[in-house]
Structure formats: C-alpha cells, structure tokens
Amino acid sequence: MMPKMFFSGVLLGLIVCTAAGRYCASRNPYENFRRFHSSLSAETFFFATVSQMVAMINEALAQGKIVVVVGGNSIAEGRGQGKELWTTDLQTRLGPSYKVLNLAQSGMPSFTGPYIAFLSLALRHQDLYYVAVAQPLYANGVETPFVGYSYWWDAHYKGLLPYYRRLDEYISERIKVETVAEKEILEECQIEERLDSIFYFKDLWSTLAYKSFFTVWTKPTANTFMAPRKIYPDEEPSPLEPVAHRFDDLNLEFERRDALRDFDTYFETNTETKKRQFSKQMLDWYKYSIDATVPEQLRSQVLLIDVRKNPLVLSRILNEEEFGLHEQVSELSVKLWEGIGVSALYVGKDFKPDDYLDGCHLTGPGGAKLSAAVASKIFEMQQINSQRKFRFIQR
C-alpha cells in the first residue's frame, strides 16, 4: 500500500509541476520590466527563458505596437546608466506606437537569447525589429549555450522556431567540427532541452525564482539570496563618473586585449608588402556564418550596431597602426552586414570621452547619442518595411 501511495504522489507531483511549468511558459512574469539588470541575469544565476521572452514580445505585439527587441551585451543593456537608460530614451524618441524591449544581458553574444525569441516570431510579424550591439567580425553560433543555457535548443525542442534551412545547415556544420568536449556539452544540453520541452521545469523554476523564492547563492545577492528576484530594484550601486575623470581605475591591459579584437585571427601578413591584410579564409567564414545566422526574409528587420570604444582609451592603448586596423575591422564589419541586407551602424565616431563610463560602456549622455542614431535608423527601416508590406498586399 505504502509504495503505491508513494508512487502516486511522485507521479501526481510531476504532473502538477509540468502543468504549472507549461502555464508559466505562456506568460510574461515580469512586472514593470525595464531590462534584465544584474539581479535578473545569468551573472546572478537567474535565467529568463526563451518562452518568457516570446511571451513578453507577444504581449507588446498584441497591443498593436511596433516592437523593437534589444539584444546583445552589457553595452546594449545600458550597464552603468542607471536612470538615464538609453533604451528609455529610445522609447521616448520612437513614440507610443513603438515598444522597446531591452532584453540584453551582460556578456550575452548578439545572436542568442532575445535573438532566438525574435527568430521565433519575426516571420509572422513584420512590425518586429531586432537591434543588437554586436562585436565586429565575430559570429558565435546561435546554438552556443550562454552560461550553460542554449536558447536555440530550448526554442527548437519546444517547437517555437520556424524552419530556417540555411541556419539549420550551418548549425549542423558547426556541430560536425566540434571537439569531443564540446560535443559532450552539446549532448547534455540537447538532452536537457528535450526533457524541458516535456516537463517545462525551466519556465516553472524561472517564474518561481522571480515571484516566490530563489535557491542559488550568489555574491551580489548574498544577504537575501533566497528572496524572490522581483524584489531587487534595477539600481546600480552608485553612478560612476565618466572614465575621463578616473582614468587610473581602468585595467588598461584588459582594455588593450579587448580593443585588439583577435587581430591575429582577422589579419595575415602579406609576404611581399609585409603589411597586415584581412585573412581571406577568415572573412569567407564570417560572411558565411552571418549569412546563415540571419535568415534572408528577416534581414530588413535586423539592425546591428558596433559601438566604438572610448577614443581616450583607444589613444592610450593602441599605436597608430593598431588604431588603423581597429577602425578597418569595424568598417568592414558594417560593410559586410549591409552587404547581406542587414541594417548596420558604426556608432561613436563623434563621441567624446565623457560619453563613456569606461573603455566601452556609455554614460547617460553617450546612451542618448546612441539612441538618437538607433531611432533614426529604425524609422528608416520601418518606412522601407511598410512599403514592402504595401507592395506585398497589392500583389
């Protein structure tokens, strides 16, 4: 009798949790959402799921808004900007017919997380745009896990993604050349996401973590780590002064490594002129990867931005030749993005040192300059897109 009761209890518990998970997956749990600040991001072990992001976008689309999803890293997140968040400014500039959703997270590559949510909806919604701060000439795979969570496989197994042939082929090719260790990680990730597509434990856990209680200790939340994440306000410790006023705080070694952007990968030395030139092999690979990553039919809805690093920092850490190469990488990247039909911006040529908090993050005024550039580009894209839609209806 006892084992029967026990197993019934286990089974019932599993069914109830699965049902709760599925319910959570269809809803946007976030209240007064501004962005995934540090207490709502992977750096404090909080993982917003792809279903939640899809639900957030759907909610905005249902209100008849033109939705601008912002993805990418801490520059896109607006780390350090506090109340003067650049996406808030962007919302103001775009007006009430638009809804800006800042889903970027610190350290997040440009083609994961919110990009996967965008992929799942963009084909059916032409009024949906994806804007990301992207690293030039750097394309990670959409399937690559971000802090152990693969948004791609999650969306894939939950049936959230339309079939993008070239993207699927590209992922298959990447998997073929993975090392044994990478394959092991991928296998684990795939099993995890397959299970999650049945039991929806991630959506349940993430919602509980936001609304009810948290179970993982992290240093930034140490004293109240079990508290639900919704109680953590989006506030940054103390607004930093622009880096120009506290230059000594910077880790120049790190900034230099970051600014050099794997030059050895991008460039090869011409044996005759002894000058560095772009490696053809690398460029071909990059062109192929970006071409496969952004499906053709969605390119008019994607805007990629390269934000130039702080000119003061660049002038201190790079010599003239290195600075030239640095600029070439950005300019070529923008050219390649535009070449495949994606909108692109290289922002920051007119920015002053006071527009930066450090080597790359923007201050409030710097963020306002970024949002101005992005807003005008979005208007441009929307104009072209609406004409396209009109032609489509005419046919």
Partner 1 sequence: MIFSTYWFLCASSIFLVLYAISEPKLRVILLLLFCVIFHTHFAGAAGVMPIVCLGAVTYVLARSNDKRAQTLGIILCCLALTFYKYSHFICRELLGVFGKAQAQQLDAWLDKLLPATAPLAISFFVFEFVHYLWDRRHGKPVIEKPVDFIQFALFFPSLVAGPIKRYEQFLPSLTIGTKCTSGLDFSQGLTQVAAGFFKKIVLADNLTLYINSATQEFHAISQHERWIFLIALSLRIYFDFSGYSDIAIGVARMMGINLPINFNWPYTARNIQDFWQRWHISLSSWIRDYVYIPLGGSRRGTLRTVANGVFAFALCGLWHGAAWNFLCWGLYHGFGLAVASNYRDFLGKLGRSVGWIFDRIPFAARATTFGFVSFGWLLFFYPLAQAFEMCKLLFSSTTVQ
Query: Which residues make up the interface to partner 1 (CB under 8 A)?
Result: 2-4, 6-7, 10, 187-188, 191-192, 195, 215-219, 222
Smallest distance from partner 1 to CB 154, Å: 13
Is the dihedral angle over the CA atoms 49, 144, 225, 233 positive or is it negative? negative
Strand partners, 72: 133
Strand partners, 98: 66
Is the dihedral angle over the CA atoms 308, 314, 317, 318 positive or is it negative? positive
CA-based nearest residue to 344, from 373, 303, 374, 384: 303
Smallest distance from partner 1 to CB 216, Å: 6
Strands 267-269 and 276-278: antiparallel
Nearer to partner 1, 175 or 282 (CB): 175
Smallest distance from partner 1 to CB 174, Å: 21
What radius of gyration do the chain's Cα atoms show?
22
Nearer to partner 1, 7 or 23 (CB): 7
Longest dimension (CA), the chain: 85
Smallest distance from partner 1 to CB 222, Å: 8
Task: Look at residue 267 and give its three-state secondary structure.
Answer: strand
Smallest distance from partner 1 to CB 188, Å: 6
Nearer to partner 1, 187 or 321 (CB): 187
Nearer to partner 1, 187 or 380 (CB): 187
Smallest distance from partner 1 to CB 359, Å: 23
Nearer to partner 1, 216 or 384 (CB): 216
- The residue type at 130: Y
Nearer to partner 1, 217 or 254 (CB): 217
Q: Find out whether 386 and 354 touch, Cβ atoms under 8 Å.
A: no
